[in-house]
Chains A and B, each alone.
Chain A
């Protein structure tokens, strides 16, 4: 169990099925305040499914408690309003709109609730991603893969989330950019954002995270503090590989 004093997110026996096929069964995880928690696992394990269910994009059975309030069935708009944000695997950017417009829309829910600090938040995002600032008027659909990733993360940050869920932020990126992304993840934690990180790049994820879960065929197969799991022979064999030290170097 992930023993934390102030859990931000606690999911309990969460189940999701597509038709008759159960893609997630009885998953229970906890994310503490200011923690980075990572979920690793092979393709098709149900990681994306889990994040979608927590966010309310998919219907689910079980219990999701966010910030101390239990949501029987999470509903996306409410979760966003309460400070949860998801950077989805497909990014879902607004392709025919500029970087700036994409970012501003990230703050839509905050704007609706009466906050008018979008300009300042955008400056903070530009500080993290100077590249986005240079290209602020470019259409999102014309960005490179790495830039799209940055925009997706930046857009989520515009909502000033308490819990940020990232679905494979390093997907398809050059090693140097991967390192940059993980540096930013660590920086976000320093600023008090709790993070739930789903990753294929297990080595880098375990290095940056505080706690880790291994998801296999819809079930939590292993869990523990990230550095303990990184030394677990089963994890090394299945996810880290032997002797492959270059990934670790890239993620520092």
Chain B
């Protein structure tokens, strides 16, 4: 292997690593706030990418109907609850967000010449379809069992993953999709050709990570999520309801997932079930951070990305095996070095 190949592999590894880092951050966040190990994180990647592809193909993305369906269900449940408690003033909000928004979006997608819009607008529309599914998913599936043990939450999480992959096949078909690059520019850095898309992915990940940092350090809602992760009972007494924190967390996770999908769709072909493998690599990174440390998870993600790209050069058939085997020594090292802390209730 000469320097040029090594640099190329490193570039690949970094690009993928940036995406894994984003997903790892989302997984750590979701686990810290809600104790859910969010297996379907990867599905949001696939949904984001494939919804964008459908929009560009000029058809109505089936995910929009899924959104409408989920919204209708939530409206039914929350509306009935509001009526039963005599909180009629809540009804307008419940119906507006859960029924009005999806239908408005569908109308918008029908009316607009989506196919011919600039790429930015298409991306925004794809996000507008996929991201709200995060909070809706929390409301429908995880909020009713919010206080269940971690194992139950994990099992439900796996079920949601399977269901979302199945629906993905139904919505998008078995064909893979690749979307056009954000920019066709190529940069020559020394002996290396860097594609515009790589720069996009790296910059976008960096910006997103910084934005998340600002969100958690500076805004009250960000602090509220951290507070919930630190002390759930204390947060409740401040009026930060676990349901609100959960929905907000799932919103952020879905945003990260869908955005990652949109970013990598020009680099890799995305199938309806590609998300799982990508999410799983983010998961390995999150485990390296002990599902608790954001910086360690990010470092782990870059490590996973590099390991993956270099092993694809030497032993391409085994690249996933190598990446996932990495988790064993990491877990052993963690279990030896971390002192077991009793969970305080």
Chain B binding surface, main DSSP class: helix
Contact indicator A105/B237 (Cβ below 8 Å): no
Kindly state whether residue B220 has any CB partner on chain A within 8 Å: yes
- The answer to whether A94 touches B231, judged by C-beta atoms less than 8 angstroms apart, is yes
B241 touches A77 (CB 8 A): yes
User: Closest approach, in angstroms, between the C-beta of B145 and any C-beta of chain A?
Assistant: 17
Binary per-residue interface labels of chain B (181-192) against chain A in the complex, 1 for a CB within 8 Å, 0 otherwise: 000000000000
A55 contacts partner chain B, Cβ-Cβ < 8 Å: yes
> Within the complex, which residue of A88, A104, A112 is in contact with B239, where a contact is CB–CB below 8 Å?
A112
Query: Could you tell me the distance between the alpha carbons of A94 and B223 in the complex, rounded to whole angstroms?
Result: 10
Chain B proximity mask over A27-65: 1 for CB below 8 Å, otherwise 0: 000000000000000000000000000010100000000
Q: C-beta contact mask, A90-107 vs B, less than 8 Å → 1, else 0?
A: 111111110001001110
Contacts of B8 in A (CB 8 A): none
Q: Are B238 and A106 in contact (CB under 8 A)?
A: yes
Residues 215-254 of B, flagged 1 when their CB comes within 8 A of A and 0 if not, give: 0000010011011001101111111110010000000000
Of B223, B237, B241, the contact of A92 (CB 8 Å cutoff): B237
A106's closest neighbor in chain B, by CB?
Answer: B238
Q: In the assembly, what is the distance between CA of A77 and CA of B240, in Å?
A: 7
A:151-171 near B, CB below 8 Å:
155, 159
Contact (A81, B239) CB under 8 Å given A104-B223, A105-B224, A108-B224? yes
With A104-B220, A105-B223 known to touch, is A93 a contact of B231 (CB < 8 Å)? yes
Inter-chain CA distance A105–B227, complex, in Å, is 8
Alpha-carbon separation in the docked complex, A101 to B238 (Å): 12
Contact A108 B230 (CB under 8 A): no
Which residues of the other chain, A, contact B220 by a CB distance below 8 angstroms? 104-105, 108, 111
Check B227–A76 contact: CB distance below 8 A.
Answer: no
A76 in contact with B234 (CB, 8 Å): no
State the interface size on chain A (CB cutoff 8 A).
27
The answer on a CB contact under 8 Å between B238 and A96 is no
User: Closest residue of chain B to A158, judged by CB?
Assistant: B238
Among residues of B, the one whose C-beta sits closest to the C-beta of A152 is B234
Asked if A17 is at the interface of the complex by the 8 Å CB criterion, the answer is no
Contact with B along A212-230 (1 / 0, CB 8 A): 0000000000000000000
B221 to chain A, nearest CB (A): 9
In the complex, which residues of chain B have a beta carbon less than 8 angstroms from the beta carbon of A109? Answer: 238-240
Contact B226 A86 (CB under 8 A): no
Contact across chains for B230 and A80 when beta carbons are under 8 A apart: no
A55 — which chain B residues lie within 8 A by C-beta? 237
B231 partner, pick from A80, A81, A92, A112, beta carbons under 8 A: A92
Q: Closest B-chain residue to A76, C-beta based?
A: B236
Q: Is the CB of A57 within 8 A of B238?
A: no
Determine which residue in B220, B230, B239 has the highest number of CB atoms from chain A within 10 A of its CB, and name it.
Answer: B239
Residues on the B chain within 8 Å of A93, using CB:
231, 234
Roughly how many angstroms separate A101 CA and B230 CA in the complex, as a whole number? Answer: 13
Q: Are B240 and A108 in contact (CB under 8 A)?
A: yes
- Complex Cα gap A81–B239 (Å): 7
Q: Which residue of B lies closest to A155 (CB)?
A: B238
A80 in contact with B233 (CB, 8 Å): no
Residue of A nearest to B226 (CB): A97
Kindly report which residue of chain A lies nearest to residue B244, judged by CB atoms: A77
List residues of chain A with CB within 8 A of the CB of B236: 57, 76-77
- Chain B residues whose CB sits within 8 angstroms of the CB of A155 once the complex forms: 238
Contact A88/B230 with A97-B223, A108-B220 known, Cβ cut-off 8 Å: no
Q: Is the CB of A57 within 8 A of B223?
A: no
Verify A80–B227 contact, CB threshold 8 A: no
Contacts of A159 in B (CB 8 A): 238-239
Q: Are A108 and B231 in contact (CB-based, < 8 A)?
A: no
* CB of A237 to closest CB in B, whole Å: 36
B108 to chain A, nearest CB (A): 29
Nearest neighbor of A101 in chain B, beta-carbon distance: B223
A70 vs chain B, min Cβ distance (A):
12
Q: Report the separation of the CA atoms of residues A96 and B238 in the bound assembly, to the nearest whole angstrom.
A: 16
Would you list 7 pairs from A and B whose C-beta atoms are within 8 A, ordered by A residue? A80-B237, A90-B233, A91-B234, A94-B227, A96-B226, A101-B223, A109-B240
Supply 19 further A-B pairs (C-beta < 8 A) apart from A92-B237, A155-B238: A55-B237, A57-B233, A76-B236, A76-B237, A77-B236, A77-B241, A80-B237, A88-B237, A91-B234, A94-B231, A96-B230, A97-B223, A97-B226, A97-B230, A104-B220, A105-B235, A105-B238, A106-B238, A159-B238
Interface, chain B (partner A; CB < 8 A): 220, 223-224, 226-227, 230-231, 233-241, 244
The 5 A-B pairs of least Cβ separation, nearest first, read: A109-B239, A92-B234, A80-B239, A77-B241, A94-B230
